[in-house]
Amino acid sequence: MELFTLGIAELNSMLERREISARDICGSVYKRIEAVEGSIRAYVTATPEKALEMAEQADKDIAAGSKKSLSGIPIAIKDNMCTKGILTTCASKILSNFIPPYESTVTSRLLENGYVLSGKTNMDEFAMGSSTENSGFHTTRNPWDIGRIPGGSSGGSAAAVAADECIAALGSDTGGSIRQPASFCGVVGLKPTYGRVSRYGLVAFASSLDQIGPITKNVTDSAILLNIISGRDTQDSTSAPVEVPDFTSVLGREIKGLRIGIPGEYFTEGIDAEVEQAVRNAIRQFESLGAIPVEISLPHSGYAVAAYYILATSEASSNLARYDGVKYGIRAEGKDLLEMYMKSRAQGFGAEVKRRIMLGTYTLSSGYYEAYYRKAQQVRTLIKNDFENAFRNVDLIVTPTSPTAAFRTGEKTDDPLQMYLADIFTISVNLAGVPGISVPCGFTSGSLPIGLQLIGKHFDEASLLQAAYAYEQSTEWHKRKPAL
């Protein structure tokens, strides 16, 4: 058995028993990266020397009897989280030379727990996309079929976990960017409640929607990582002063009597028949474990995509105004300051980022703010109310993560609207700020993974993880690996 195939919990046990060293794990993962990265292209920046240095430090800690919860565990970081002294590009040419002078809060917490950085993963530029085809550098491929996309925007992180090019990864989720690629790559992806995890050091796309979360090989590992990255941070005013429970303590508890909501709006035209069948089978599996299915309605779901693409692009327009070629990032030459601004942004940003900046600038412009931005905020409130009403009668909500399995590379690049609709089942969760998790629930006839989405109440990730673990342990889907 190769060490790179294992999860955090299994490797932790082996390290505690001194059966292996952190250096052994690091060597195994980098051997795997060398073998498959040419096909998958999950990374923007690999960090082999840094990883070895961190692994050797972990071995010293273990030898001194001070093993930490992530000592020696190689974890990949999406390339929109600042890592001090290590290139952080957001997969954009405009930041192709940016080396942060500080560490994000989440990576600081991983460092405190002894992790090993395997590298920075590819993504859609500035997290704007659903396929990782919008990267300014290269397209990441799906380990289950390299002719297909891995999802986005955290496609590099999900592909790296699925291909065993790391033990776990962090991604960010603005409209489904952890859950959708996790679904497409057959791994577990958790978007915590907005405010559960600090965004300090996360390069902002849409500040009221962005949230960092784990992408892992199993539910246990997601609970372990969530324990570490959660909690109040004084450097992020939106991080919530809410107690962080031990998320691993609920794993293994039975779910008999758990009421799971089935929203009719998520089982409509447009959903692939094999995806619907797999999710229906998963609901029956929950019933066999003692859960009680309840038909519910989320009546404003149909407006989520429209509202999201007004709010997210408006916030992007504001957040990305800072990339002007002055203080950091690439700078183009111009005859005056205005021309330098224009050339730097024109050369540095890709087509999708430009599209979203223009959309957002338009919706925020004089005469249109009330008609678009304000109206979208009102719709957002209605969507949030839908979830609150539903959670008066149910404990969790179960839906497909995506209406389809992974699509072919290039299939939707010429039709932005079709690409945007790939996130139709995940966007509402971000608008409402509630937590969601995607777990594998089956495969298509073409051997492509299918994801099941569980949605929970605000700050009730524990119930999500409890139910996801019960389902995972009663099925075999999470054990299948792509043949690379």
Q: What amino acid positions are annotated as catalytic residues?
A: 78, 153, 177
Alpha-helix residue ranges (DSSP H) falling in 170-295: 179-185, 219-229, 273-288
Q: What is the C-alpha to C-alpha distance for residues 452 and 301, in angstroms, rounded to an integer?
A: 18
SS3 content of the chain, % helix, strand, coil (to 5): 45, 15, 40
Q: Are 124 and 116 in contact (CB under 8 A)?
A: no
Tokens of 145: 């079929």
Q: What is the C-alpha to C-alpha distance for residues 91 and 247, in angstroms, rounded to an integer?
A: 32
Distance of CA 122 to the CA centre of its chain: 12
Tokens of 5: 């195939």
292-296/116-121 β-pairing: unpaired
Q: What is the C-alpha to C-alpha distance for residues 436 and 269, in angstroms, rounded to an integer?
A: 23
Distance of CA 397 to the CA centre of its chain: 19
Tokens of 215: 């992408």
Q: Which helix (H) or strand (E) holds 36?
A: helix 22-40
Alpha-helix residue ranges (DSSP H) falling in 365-442: 375-390, 416-420, 427-432
